[in-house]
């Protein structure tokens, strides 16, 4: 492994680790807490939701780092977007969102999700991908709107997923 590969691997590992152990762990655990409080047990479907929430958290962390990449580079602040460069960071962001979108929607079909939650989840995927594409923008203001759309889209996807699984009886 050459020096650049180690740097990229280290940055991606740090992003995922930070998303999982920092504030990023709160987002995927909110539905778990709500479901436990309402029902008392967790359905098997949550074995998909919680790890997927961690991946979504890593995507949001990279998207947020892209917002400030110019300022962070000037200040020599080590962030995933600075270490990877904007193009590679965007590719990592798009790859993580691809995984989240594909696994969430496929799991809804495989686990028998039904009802309006499916439409909410699908709308969340569309909104988050709108944000992913805005994160390629030249200005920090456009990238910030992109990150905001990603956050709202991921929240819609999660809420829709939980609703569809609940409506499907899982």
Which pLDDT tens digits describe the chain residue by residue (170 residues)?
A: 455 555 555 555 555 555 555 555 566 566 667 777 787 877 777 778 778 888 998 899 999 999 999 898 888 888 888 989 999 999 999 999 999 999 999 999 998 888 899 999 999 999 999 999 999 988 999 999 999 999 999 999 988 988 898 887 65
Q: What is the pLDDT of residue 3?
A: 59
Q: What distance in Å separates the CA atoms of residue 30 and residue 115, rounded to the nearest whole number?
A: 22
What does pTM read for this prediction? 0.76
Please say whether the beta carbons of 130 and 162 come within 8 A.
Answer: no
Print burial letters for 139-166: b (CB count within 10 Å at least 16), e (below 16). eeeebbbbbebbbebbbbbbbbbbbbbb
Measure the CA–CA gap between 47 and 40, rounded to whole angstroms: 16
């Amino acid at each position: 492994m050459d020096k650049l590969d180690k740097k990229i691997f280290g940055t991606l590992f740090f992003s995922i680790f930070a998303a999982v152990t920092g504030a990023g762990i709160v987002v995927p655990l909110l539905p778990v807490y709500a479901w436990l409080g309402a029902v008392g047990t967790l359905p098997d479907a949550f074995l998909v939701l919680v790890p997927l929430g961690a991946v979504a958290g890593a995507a949001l962390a990279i998207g947020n780092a892209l917002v400030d990449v110019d300022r962070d580079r000037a200040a020599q602040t080590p962030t995933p977007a600075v270490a990877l460069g904007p193009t590679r960071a965007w590719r990592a962001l798009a790859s993580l969102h691809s995984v989240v979108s594909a696994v969430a929607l496929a799991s809804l079909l495989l686990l028998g999700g039904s009802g309006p939650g499916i439409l909410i989840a699908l709308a969340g995927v569309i909104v988050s991908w709108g944000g992913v594409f805005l994160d390629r923008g030249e200005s920090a203001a456009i990238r910030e709107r992109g990150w905001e759309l990603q956050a709202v889209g991921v929240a819609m996807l999660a809420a829709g997923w939980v609703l569809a699984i609940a409506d499907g009886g899982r």
